[in-house]
Structure formats: C-alpha cells, structure tokens
Amino acid sequence: EGRAPGGRRQAMAAAASGAASAYWRVAGMTYLKYSNLCANMVRAALKEPTKSAAAAREGVYLRASKWENGKQGEQVVTDLLQK
C-alpha cells in the first residue's frame, strides 16, 4: 500500500498532452505495481501443488543493514513494490 507521486505526475502529464491514462495510472499506481499486483492475484487463485511452488516468487524486497566495527546494525526491510 502506498501512493506514488511519480505515478500521478505521469498521469497528469499524459492528460495534459491529450492521451488517456489507464485507471491505475490515474490513481497513482505505477505499471510495475499494477503488473505485480495482477501476478499476485493470479498466484492466489492457483490449485495447490502449483500454488506453493509459485509462493516463492511472491515476495520481492530488500533487506539491508549497516555494519560498524564488525557488528551488524539494525536490519531495514524495504518493500520494492510499494508504489
């Protein structure tokens, strides 16, 4: 869940040039988010053996932490598909 100022900017630019934008673009969703949302929904509707195999492809995120003096700092998880 999240808003994409970039998505809205693109939608407004497209509207200004006269091109019609997709409903998801108008609402602030980027194509990446739309495409991955569609993929998640298809995976959720699968039958059992394929479903668990597909679950591995679901989460896309970045986990990072700073190291100081040989000690790992706090782990920060960033969801790459926020917008």
Partner 1 sequence: AGAGAMAAMLRAGCGLARALGRGRTLPGASEGARRWLRSSTPAGQDEGAALSDAASKEAFISRWTEVAPSTLPPPLTPADIFPGKAQAPEAGAAVPEKLRLNFYLPHDVAAEGEEVDLVLVPAVTGDFGVMPGHVPTIAQLRPGVVSVHKELDKDVQKWFVSSGFAFVHEDSSTDVCAVEAVPLEDLDPEAVKAGLAEYTAKLASASSSGDDYEAAAAQVGVEVYSAMNAALGN
Site residues, partner 1 (CB under 8 A): 1, 3, 23-24, 26-29, 34-39, 41-47, 50, 54, 57
Instruction: Compute the least distance from the CB of residue 37 to partner 1, in Å.
Output: 5
Instruction: Compute the least distance from the CB of residue 81 to partner 1, in Å.
Output: 12
Residue 8 CA: distances (Å) to CA of 1, 30, 63, 81: 15, 9, 28, 16
- For tokens 């869940």, the residue is 1
Instruction: Compute the least distance from the CB of residue 10 to partner 1, in Å.
Output: 14
In whole angstroms, what is the distance from residue 14 CA to residue 81 CA?
23
